Structure 1
Amino acid sequence: MRKRLTVYFPAVGIFCLALFVRVLYNMTVGHGYTPEFDAGFYNNLAIHLDTEHCFCLQSHVPDTGRAPFWPFVIAAIYTVMGTYNSYARLFLCILGSGTCVITYLFARDIFNKRIALVVGIIAALYPGLFIYDGWLYTESVYTFFVMGFAYSLFRLQRTPRVGWMISCGISLACASLTRPNGISLLVLVLIWAVFTIRIRMLPWRKVVQAVLVITCLAFGLIAPWTIRNYQISHKFILVATGGGAVLAGSYNDTAVTSDFFGYTGMWVASGKIRPPLTDYSDAGETTYAYHWIRTHPGELPYLFSQHFINMWRPYTSEEGLPVREFPTRLSSQILWNLMTTTPFAIIFLAACGLVVTLRSKWRELLVPYLVIGLTIVLCVAFYGTSRFRAPIEPLLVLLAGGAIWWLTSTESGTLRSLLRKGRGSVIREPDSEAEAVNV
């Protein structure tokens, strides 16, 4: 019993610390929060689910423009606890704390328990991991499922058991039902499969089995919602529409020339797009974006570079965050300073960790590399903001832990082990010279 407590105590401690920080954040910065913008849409969907049993933004008008998972969760919370968004935000606090625990487990399995504890504490305290636990966007939910997917795939790489395949498939399905682009994680499964077979990390039969189980389970869980969408719209919509609005807002003259929120390359609302839209349907917006891309090839490199740069900014304006909703509060001002400074340290340490662990830990970090790479590609292809960096913030903390491991540990592949080897070679050199003289 004592041994079990010793194993689980650090994870429980990190969960409690993370939960305390997140609840404190909601009670101070987020006190009196009102859902706005996308959060308002999710809140309205949940209320209509609760009152009309209809996934509707407008009364009794079924909607296909939003992914269903988060509105259904909010609706379930409202059914039990009443229509108070504070309970939904408490759920996000619990989920965000779970993300910190997964980050701790990742670090424990890749590095060691001491580094894992440091990584878990950083994850619990880092503003980039808790600011989204105070508003009703999907960032916290999506990040949790992405981390669940990544950790399951990592453990599957070590011990190819069916349980990890099922966990990975469920996480992938939930991520896809939270955000439509979550289905892109399936591409990572295929890339991972090619790598593991090519370097003989796992038997090819186990890898094929894993890919089939993950794929079938993910699509099996998504299929009921796809069928529902077809019954409503008579079109194939895997999870949700809305991709056209994202593309049109990203690829237009205004995005290239104007500096909304202080930066170029940001997404632009449909009413501010130049040249203006003539068809506001999803298909019309998609056609507009593709036409702009075909007719402006010279603008694309600059636009892509801005998407990439904006992704790594400490903070890009997000209207509706509690810290923006209540900017005059002392707690908001303190958090604002932390939000705009601490990402520099985490990103710098993560970059260093990527470099110093690339040779000794690349197999263990293969899945985090793939998830980070996919997120960068999506941000460059669509548009990058600090909010869209949210799914990989835990993995950046993990890589930062890799830098700390390299500097402080004595294991093979760390700085101390390299210095020790260097001293050993210096000591052996006089012996070889003496032997040469004797000869």
Structure 2
Amino acid sequence: MAEAARARAEAARDGLGPASARAGGDLVFSAIAFVLALLPRLYVAIAWAREPVWDGHYYDFGARRIAAGLGYSDDLIVGGQPVWHPWCHYPVGYSGFLGLVYRLFGAGPHVATVANAVTGALLVVVVHRLARYATTPGRARAAALLAALSPGLIVYAALLMTEPLAALGLVTAPWLLARDAARGRVIRGAVLAGAALGLTALVRPQSLLCAPALALLTWRAWRGPGEVAGGASAAWRRGALAAALSAATALAVVAPWTIRNCRVMDGCALVSTNGGWNLAIGAFPRATGRFETLRAGDGCPIARGQVAQDRCWMTEGLRWIKDDPARWLALIPRKLGFTFDHESFPIGYLGEANPAAWPEERRAAGRRVLTASHLGLLSVAALGVVALPRLRPWRALAAQLLALAAVLGLVAWGVLGDEHAFWPLAVAIPVIAALPLPGRPANGGVVGYLAFAVASVALTHAVFFGEDRYHMVVTPALCVLAACALRRGETAPAAGSRSGLSTGLFRERG
């Protein structure tokens, strides 16, 4: 009873208990953060946007076809006549989102980018709401401000690209589960999180990799003030159930699109038919670690359906890896470097869309600003899995000093090294978060989920190929982790507490 009372008092002091979560505290700040995020994004969306280029051209094309009632398709010219032809090379989610926007508001020159601006502002709100389940209210506000003022996320409002919408789904899913777990509604939260993750998978299929990490959000779910019922084994069972339910719901959301593909394409595809292409790009003899254009002479010269073509490239990619695994493995650091070591894609996109407004000098300045802000955020985010060292107990002090030294050493390596490699920090985040180090930061699974999300991006692009735009989906996660930097660590449970988990999902004192 005394331990439960102490837990309630600490949760109330920090504003992190279930009562404050149910009351939706800090809603006023969420609204302010929305406006603060929306204004610069609206400016960029209106003043900087031009005709979509690169992949944005295809997303826009697909959206216009969907809005016109033609589905996700293009037209093939057969005998001089256009013939409707189904399409699924790119994931349908972002084009479907824009198609709905175009259907409601028309396809004017700034409709899509204004929708992007609103999406970016909503992303900031969800970052704030999610961060409240990871740390103190003040730190949660800092996470929202980091996301609201992120130069890269602001500039992205002018780009017709998928990353902000995918990022919104990646943080909405854990927020829904954490919110409902705090109210004792784990099953409902798991279903809602799964639905959000399924919609996100239609935008970015590899988002499904994050489904198992949702289990982390339920291990310390509130079952009463400061109590967890059933001990560690019950926590594991509850986590496994929540993850399985979320994954099943996500697949159920994706299933109608998969059935459509099986029905109208030349074969079945879960979401899209670019997985084989991407594997081949990261493995073929001319691979450099980043995007390179595949040619028919590289291995799949025969024109065939999209699914068959993708399967051909998948087969070729696996063969190239099997024939020379050492070469493929040696490309992984370069792939991760292209993904995490800089942030230049948004400026390149704007320069391609409007060369007159973006001469090389201005592009270079823009790349420097975005890269500096990204690398600074990544460096501080790595401290989100390190606790503020405490003098006692000494084992915890030693472990956290070692973790702190490792992160600071990697930062110094990135700053002072000849290659300025910061990608090891992205690898260190999930590794340190997973290690059972004494005195590690206390959290209810949100930080673990976010670290897992960073790992999913690193793993995906280590296998396929790297480009800096791919890290944008975890920029909001990095904002939350940065706000959690050097929190106070876990302390040994008081005598009589049950399995050391009695402080529950929301205990955070730093």
Name the TM tier (shorter chain). 0.7 to 0.9
Alignment of 1:169-184 (within 5 A): 169-184=194-209
Task: Work out whether residues 252 and 274 of structure 1, in 8 Å CA contact, stay in contact via their aligned partners in 2.
Answer: no
Alpha-carbon separation, structure 1, partners of 2:146 and 2:219: 33
Alpha-carbon separation, structure 1, partners of 2:24 and 2:205: 40
Shift in alpha-carbon separation, 1:152–1:199, aligned structure 2, 3 A:
farther
Q: Which amino acid aligns with 2:315?
A: T
The alignment's C-alpha RMSD in Å is: 3.1
Alpha-carbon separation, structure 1, partners of 2:444 and 2:154: 29
Q: Which amino acid aligns with 1:342?
A: S
Aligned to 2:71: 54
Aligned to 1:14: 33
In the alignment, structure 1 residue 221 sits paired with structure 2 residue 249: no
Q: Which amino acid aligns with 1:219?
A: L
1:286-325 deviation line (CA, Å, top 9, x unaligned):
1211111111122122211111222211225468622543
The alignment-based identity, stated in percent, is 20
In the alignment, structure 1 residue 305 sits paired with structure 2 residue 329: no
Alpha-carbon separation, structure 2, partners of 1:154 and 1:279: 50
Alignment of 1:92-111 (within 5 A): 92-111=116-135
Give the superposition deviation at 1:156.
Answer: 5.4
Alpha-carbon separation, structure 2, partners of 1:171 and 1:237: 20
Which runs of 5 or more structure 1 residues have no equivalent in the other structure?
Answer: 257-264, 407-411, 415-439
Task: Work out whether residues 41 and 57 of structure 1, in 8 Å CA contact, stay in contact via their aligned partners in 2.
Answer: no
In the alignment, structure 1 residue 251 sits paired with structure 2 residue 310: no
Q: 2:465 aligns with which of 383, 394, 397?
A: 383
**Comparing 42-51 and 204-213, the one that deviates more:** 204-213
Task: Work out whether residues 48 and 55 of structure 1, in 8 Å CA contact, stay in contact via their aligned partners in 2.
Answer: yes
Q: How many residues align?
A: 395
Task: Work out whether residues 35 and 320 of structure 1, in 8 Å CA contact, stay in contact via their aligned partners in 2.
Answer: no
What SS does the corresponding residue of 2:74 show, helix, strand or coil?
strand
Alignment of 1:22-421 (within 5 A): 22-30=41-49, 33-58=50-75, 60-155=84-179, 158-161=182-185, 162-189=187-214, 200=232, 203=235, 206-233=238-265, 235-256=267-288, 265-271=289-295, 275=298, 277-279=300-302, 281-317=309-345, 321-326=349-354, 329=357, 335-356=366-387, 359-364=440-445, 365-403=447-485, 406=487, 412-413=488-489
Alpha-carbon separation, structure 2, partners of 1:348 and 1:251: 30
Aligned to 1:262: none
Alpha-carbon separation, structure 2, partners of 1:187 and 1:203: 14
**Comparing 92-101 and 105-114, the one that deviates more:** 105-114
Task: Work out whether residues 157 and 202 of structure 1, in 8 Å CA contact, stay in contact via their aligned partners in 2.
Answer: no
Task: Work out whether residues 299 and 316 of structure 2, in 8 Å CA contact, stay in contact via their aligned partners in 1.
Answer: no
Shift in alpha-carbon separation, 1:335–1:28, aligned structure 2, 3 A:
farther
Alpha-carbon separation, structure 1, partners of 2:212 and 2:142: 32
**Comparing 192-201 and 49-58, the one that deviates more:** 192-201
What SS does the corresponding residue of 1:251 show, helix, strand or coil?
coil
Alpha-carbon separation, structure 2, partners of 1:203 and 1:107: 22
What SS does the corresponding residue of 1:172 show, helix, strand or coil?
helix
Give the superposition deviation at 1:139.
Answer: 0.8
Alpha-carbon separation, structure 1, partners of 2:31 and 2:293: 43
Task: Work out whether residues 18 and 125 of structure 1, in 8 Å CA contact, stay in contact via their aligned partners in 2.
Answer: yes
Which runs of 5 or more structure 2 residues have no equivalent in the other structure?
Answer: 1-22, 76-82, 222-228, 304-308, 389-432, 434-439, 491-510
Q: TM-score, normalization: structure 2?
A: 0.70
Give the superposition deviation at 1:269.
Answer: 0.9
Give the superposition deviation at 1:52.
Answer: 4.4
1:187-235 deviation line (CA, Å, top 9, x unaligned):
4346878999998285455435423432332222212111111111253
Give the superposition deviation at 1:344.
Answer: 1.9
What SS does the corresponding residue of 2:110 show, helix, strand or coil?
helix
What SS does the corresponding residue of 2:484 show, helix, strand or coil?
helix
**Comparing 75-84 and 242-251, the one that deviates more:** 75-84
Give the superposition deviation at 1:356.
Answer: 2.9
Structure with the higher helix share, 1 or 2: 1
> Quick one: higher RCO (CA 8 Å, sep 6+), 1 or 2?
2
**Comparing 180-189 and 324-333, the one that deviates more:** 324-333
Task: Work out whether residues 262 and 269 of structure 2, in 8 Å CA contact, stay in contact via their aligned partners in 1.
Answer: yes
Shift in alpha-carbon separation, 1:199–1:236, aligned structure 2, 3 A:
farther
Q: TM-score, normalization: structure 1?
A: 0.80
Q: Which amino acid aligns with 1:232?
A: V
1:10-35 deviation line (CA, Å, top 9, x unaligned):
110001000011112223332xx111
Alpha-carbon separation, structure 1, partners of 2:149 and 2:470: 20
What SS does the corresponding residue of 1:43 show, helix, strand or coil?
helix
Q: Which amino acid aligns with 2:88?
A: T
Q: Which amino acid aligns with 1:165?
A: A
